[in-house]
Structure 1
Amino acid sequence: MPKLLSVDNLTSGDVKVSPGLLTLPKGQDSFMVTLRTSLEEVATTAPKSVVSLHAPWTVAFQGETVKLICNGLRFNSAQKATWYYWYHEGKMSSKTLSNTHVVHDSGEYRCQASDSLLSNSVRLLFSTANLILQAPLPVFEADSVVLRCRAKAGVAVNNMTLYKNDRFLASLHKTSDFHIHQADMKDSGKYRCSGFKEKCCSVTSNTVNIQVQGVVANVQIHTRPALELVFEGQELVLTCSVVGVPGTVRISWYKGSNKQRMKTKIQNSLNAEFKISMVKNSDAGEYNCEASNGHLILQSKPVTINVKVPVSHPLLTLSPPRDRAFEGDVVRLQCEAQRGSFPIQYEFFHEGVIIKKIETTSWRESSFRFTLTAEHSGNYYCTADNGRGAKQSRAVHLSITIPVSHPVLTLSPPGNRVLEGEMVTLQCEAQRGSLPIQYEFFREGVFIKKIDATLRRTSSFRFTLTTENSGNYHCTADNGRGAQHSTTVHLSTTIPVSHPVLTLSPPGDRVPEGEVMTLNCESQRGSLPIQYQFFREGVILKKIEATSRRTSSFSFSLTTEHSGNYYCTADNGQGAQRSTSVHLSITIPVSRPVLTLRAPRAQTVVGDIVELHCEAQRGSPPILYQFYHEDVTVGNSSAPSGGGSSFKLSLTEEHSGNYACEANNGLGAQRSDTVSLSVTVPVSRPVLTFRAPRAQAVVGDVVELHCETQRGSPPILYRFYHEDVILWISSTHSVGGASFNLSLTREHSGNYSCEAINDLEAQKSKMVTLNVLVPVSRPVLTLRAPGAPAVVGDVVELHCEAQRGSPPILYQFYHENVTVGSSSAPSGGGASFNLSLTAEHSGNYSCEADNGLGAQRSEVVTLSITGATGSRSAPVATGVTGGLLSVMGLAAVALLFYYRLLRKPGGRLTSDSSRNPSNSDPQEPTYHNVPAWIELQPVYSNVNPEGGDVVYSEVRSIQEGKKHAVASTPGLLKNSDSSVIYSQVKVAATPASRPQLSASSAPHR
């Protein structure tokens, strides 16, 4: 058997005891020790959580990980823990709920298990060095410790040496580990290792500070719930917590002082629980636990379990037992619970508000007495609680009957003097007393009215006052315990005062300073006494009561302060009456005024509100103030009561200059000194203009961009923008704006703006669009026929196209230098013209492109036609074709005239998509399958009417005989029966107007 020792009996020869440390005696393998008093204090504190490392090293290479495990009261059981991580700056970074935590960052780590306190911190280092020294922390006495010297992967280190406190300790030739088999206090110190990197230099590891700690063994019992809250029927859990005992621990439980063993549980952990699923009275008693690992036996401090019985619902009783009592009676409230463990706390409530709290330790009932007042009416209940939750009694209602107090009689309107004819209300009210209450009213002791009050303690009635109603009034109140009388109130009829008249002696509204003035106030009628009050500018000067006559007066010597409006009032209790005001003026000439300018800032700006304030220090009011700008009146203002006057200006640029003011009260004007004002003007929104040599800008032109703001204080900075990109910056110290020139290229088309900036503001102009026109290039003419060679009757398309040039582009087609057709391309690109071939159409063709910036002619293309027309009549067809070509020639002349206008100043081109030839079918006009041409004769009407802008208003075809023409190509005529070929071919009436075409320039079939 191991030897059992008690700490109380230990001597220095048996065992060495030091704080936190137990050391075996010499020659002793094991022993048992019972720790009593010295460890009882330790057992009362809750255990800390413990952080363990796997692997156990606190230093690792960067890129590696360390697994941390948080151990609490239930050491090896799965439980939640909160982890804390501190950076090197000391700030908390994150929290996580897990029993384990894998980390890879340097810093301090702490944890707190759900059943324990916060652990001590563990500092981890993830090193980038070539060599590190790894050691476990913490180290306790008798621990087996391994120190490991490691080189980084891929780095070869030879001749590694271990140092302790900078002194050689061991050479690590065959292994990188150094073993301390049983750690002792002498092994504490600072350790490091070093070695030689191949073909390089020496390397040294980090320093590890090892402090060997003594082991403090500790065994204690924790209960759930707390000892003082163990009640019948609850689950009780006893936990035996063991700290500082290594190896497998056997937990033994004991109940009672005789250590009769209840239950023994052996487990491979440091903790054990003993549960009682439903506590009974028989479970009460003393419990302790014993921990043993075969060498060491530790016993906990015993805990005593007292099983408490919950209280039952209490009963509240009143003594004497009744629900209605009288004010002044003494009542006893008693609360009693039939069962429940002591102590029991009783609480008494009135309408939900606690009025008494009593704790009993030996009696199941508690009571207290009090004397009833009116406030004690209401519902009462009590509660009993012995720690398991308060139980409430049923409510008991108590009603207190209160005798009425002496009532109070009041008159409305208030006062004992009332005008005849007014409505008077008599009100009788008892401040206290239980309802219902009967009220009675009396005049001169004679009963006049009876009223029962059931809802409130007041009653009233009204009547119209006559002279007979004057007299003494009283009332009574009774609720069955005897009538109570009010005091007597006297009521009399009075005559109100009339409006008084105020007179001045000497008379007049302007009196010299120093004169003696008498004010007299008189009312023609009204019951005495009358109180007179005299006022100046609404401030009371004198109060006099007249008891024998309806007049009152007083005198005083005048000073300048006595100027103003005077009136008086008369009052005999029925309301004050006021006289009309009388003005009294003591005149004093004005002094020289002072003009001050009050501005919101040191440098005034246009738009600021500036206040001009003029004030004469002395002078009798009213005073007229006039304000001048460069000796021109800008405003005036009167000060009826003296003092100064102000005038406000919303500043414009014109308000700069000298200002003065003048004060005048009729006894001579006085002018102030001159004050100067300088107004700074923010820039206005600038205007950007283009100055070009022609109406339409063309590539190669030099255009001047001019930016100018109409107002603004210099200096002004101008910025020019093209599509929000700065082109030019210019600063000017005078008006007139700023300019710069551009030699135009095609890329200069786009939106332009400018910005004006001075010290007060920046303003940007509106956008201005510049369209740079490009002259047309030489066009290319192509003939598109259905076959080769061309045959009479074929429809040939002539297509003309210039590769570049700003739209719109007018294309004209020529046969042997004779115009045969024209077409406009509003959006650029080419244009086409169709011919239904006859023999006369053989020859040379060319086309011309013109956008108003110079015409360009194509190369000549030769067309050869073979074959005959067959059923067609050539002469007639040729005549018709010639007539139609003449019409097209006139249209082409009109279009050329329009384009020539573009080259003049002011010429302008706008588009009309609804009347543009480009909207027609691209194959129009087309000549084919026209058997009835011989019957068509062109008729021209309204050709160039006088005063109009129509060249051809209508060209029709006339059908001869009963033969009919083939319908027009769709899209050129609105219905198939119409015979209109052209309709309103217009030219501009002025250079600014625009030619419009309503149909294709080629003839119809």
Structure 2
Amino acid sequence: MHCSHPGWVLMFLCLLLLILAPGHEHSGVPSKAVILLDPPWSAAFKGETVTLTCMNFHSPAQGDTTWYHGKDLLKVTSRNIRMEESGYYQCKTQRSSFSDPVLVEFSSDQLILQAPHPVFEGDTISLKCRGKEEKKTSDKIYYKNGKKLKNSYNTDSVTLKSVSRDNSEYHCTASIEFLSIFSRTITSKPLKIQVQELFLPPVLTATPSQPTEGGPVTLTCETQLPPQKSNVQLQFCFFRDGQILGSGCSSSLELQIPTMWRKDSGSYWCMAEAMAYRISKNSSRSQIHVQRIPVSEVILETKPPGGQLIEGENLVLICSVAKGTGTITFSWHKEGTRNLGRKTQHSLLAELQIPTVKMHDAGRYYCAADNNYGPIISKWIRVTVRSPVSHPVLTLKAPRAQAVVGDMVELHCKALRGSPPILYRFYHEDVIMGNSSAPSGGGVSFNFSLTVDHSGNYSCDANNGLGSQHSHRVSLKVIVPVSHPVLTLRPPAAQTKVGDVVELHCEALGGSPPIMYQFYHEDITLGNSLAPSGGGASFKLFLPTELVGNYSCDADNGLGAQHSEVMAFNITGTPRNRTTLVTAGITVGLLSFLGFAIAALLLYHFWTQRKSGGLSAAGTPSANDCQEPSLSRSCITNPQESSHSETLALMELQPVYNVNPEESHVVYSQIRNMRHTKENSANSARMHQKDKEPVVIYSELKKVYVNDSSRGTDHEDATGNYENVP
């Protein structure tokens, strides 16, 4: 900060800011108070007043102020006082020491010479010659020690450059007019300007005062600027036996000498200089003697600390001594080998580097130091070299190709490289499952029994304290076998009458989808249905005359079929007429056309996915188990694999109804709804019809007699196909 405004109040504020600026250091000794004058002149005429202000620049909150006029204590505790009496004034605050005495004169003369206050050596100031009746005063001349100052004629003030503390006396003369036509020359009293030191002579200190050979020394050149001149820049120079030290003068009041030797003993002093004021002051001389000490407390250290290295890193052996001066010889040794190296230098420590360590560099080391008083040996230290682990390999072992709930699975994690011991951790979807340590290296295993929640990604990591390495991910899908399904009749038998449409519903409460359901009457397959997303499936029946016998179902998702309990139904009653039943069957079939179309497509998709092994592997008969290809036979478990498989997407399985209730040898009929396309239009004689109405085919199934297998044989061929023609 630079303050150049001529106003005294502003100068006071600038000085205050400079003292309070960040970085200003305060010593432990109470600072000296300073007296400021307003107006800033040390002389005034009687009848005028001067305001004195007591300042402690280092403590703005200064509390009560004590004032003295000469030796008299004034009963004033405020920071500012207004005075009209001549004399020396001093003040102090609660946190400062007494200020320097300031002389303030109140003159009864007709002419006075005024000098500013405060004035420091090197300052440029103005002297002001002032008459009591200024309008009648003229021809002012200024003198120093009785000699007229140059360029000082008939001017209100004169400028003095770079004043010094030389006890010079100043006065002025002027002509005073009286009776309007006469004048006389009068002379002011002599004035000694109160010039204060810009800074005190510096003091040189050495830390330590008696350095030892090989050790450092800090030289400090201390002085103090007054608060009003805290912005003055000082330079410091250090000397030994007439020679300047370091790189010359600088703004730092300290000089660091990192190493002192016996030849560095001598006479030291310093100089402080304010170059802008051309003022320099020297300290007194100090004798510094450098002492020599034998080596002691030899210590060997490593970098990195602790001697723990990873293969390929650099090892640095550091040999140091706590004490010892002069030239020191350092040497390094490894157990079982010759000397590793030797260095001689003026230093308290030395280093030896072993680049790119290998496993054989592990072992015990020591060092020795000697400065001609005999070698001193350090303690042994052990250096270990370790190898970081590589990325581990995770393998999953299961008793079968597809993991099933309840199977015992083994996760094996192994890092092919790395110093033991190695800690392995196993994760399922980034959640830790467990850990295991391999004290001698190698791999470890983690066994667990599969549950439904164990599907997902698995991984492991290996860590031997030199960083963790993660394996790749291994995916596992856990399949749940189906549970025993439950067969129900909808609506219940108690609410069902002959002529109603009933639904056999089969559902396994547990098991991974997709699930294939098959429905049976007395161990004869009625049909099947696929549940791609799990849940249950239904099979619809139209009751022609009765629902008698044992019914069951099974569920299979490729892990083995599970059979439901057998349910016995016995629903009898009077049948309706054939026309009504046929009409009802066709109507219900057409209403459920869309739903059964979707079911047929899903069933075909499931069948296609399992075609390589056949559904028979999952407990469902394959197409090859059907001995009779005719749609009128009892082998209807897979109607999609008929001779019309090329138009399978256009064929939709409808609910099963009996359409010939009067003939006792027919139990069920299968209704198929076929939509013709361009591909099959050429093979159909009826596709010339403009409406292209769908064809509904009724395929009779023979009635099975549980107690008379011969009757079933007698009616082996009692089947037929019916087709409606628009």
TM-score bucket of the superposed structures, by smaller chain = 0.3 to 0.5
Provide TM-score, normalisation by structure 2: 0.36
- Greater helix share, structure number: 2
Greater relative contact order (Cα < 8 A, sep 6+): 2
